[in-house]
Amino acid sequence: MSRIGKKPVELPSGVSASVSGQTIEVKGPKGTRTFTATDDVTLTVADNAVSVIPRGKSKRARQQWGMSRSMVANLVTGVSEGFKRELEIQGVGYRATAQGESLKLALGYSHDVDFAVPAGVTVTTPKNTEIVVEGIDQQLVGQVAANIREWRAPEPYKGKGIRYKGEYIFRKEGKKK
């Protein structure tokens, strides 16, 4: 039995869901998202909550049960609150500035990096050493944050680079003479 799948997803005020076949559409104050479930589960909306029920007792049906419930919960969270990833930049001369639909990064290269921000995600820079990635799609927000971090991942000797806020970087000792 799936412990995650058993619990229905509550719809907060201002959020509505509609099911047509295997597709659920969730509308909220931040936008609209859809998810198409596999044929192994049944989606139902009742009493201001979305329930996911497996069709059968096969291993695949039980796997899809919990995964589908998690996906629906992420849709509801995305359209009501949204998702956010925060990045920090450490290093002398390393900085970031948001300019419209692009992010300009100075990361110690001979040139500045212009990162094109995809649609559905907003990138802001409260300080020139902080980057905030926000959106309603959890997967897209995480992927954009990972792509930005990839330009200069934190190195273990001095800790320079782009890291997630609160991320611990294991530091190494340098060469001995």
CB atoms within 10 A of CB 64: 22
Q: Which of 165, 172, 162, 45 is nearest to 115 (CA)?
A: 162
Q: How many angstroms from the chain centroid is the CA of residue 135?
A: 8
**Which residue type is seen at 88?**
E
The count of other CB atoms within 10 Å of the CB of residue 147 is: 12
User: CA distances (Å), 20 to each of 8, 36, 42, 105, 138, in order?
Assistant: 18, 10, 11, 44, 23
Domains of the chain with CATH codes: 3-80 (3.90.930.12), 83-164 (3.90.930.12)
Question: Closest Cα partner for 106 from 94, 98, 92, 91?
Answer: 94
- pLDDT (tens digit, 0 to 9) for every residue of the chain, 177 residues total? 568 888 899 999 889 999 998 999 999 999 999 999 888 999 999 889 999 999 888 899 888 998 999 999 999 999 999 999 999 999 899 999 998 889 999 998 899 999 999 998 999 999 999 999 999 999 999 999 999 999 999 999 998 999 999 989 999 988 888
Q: Which residues pair with 114 in a beta bridge?
A: 104
Is-contact 63 114, C-beta < 8 A?
A: no
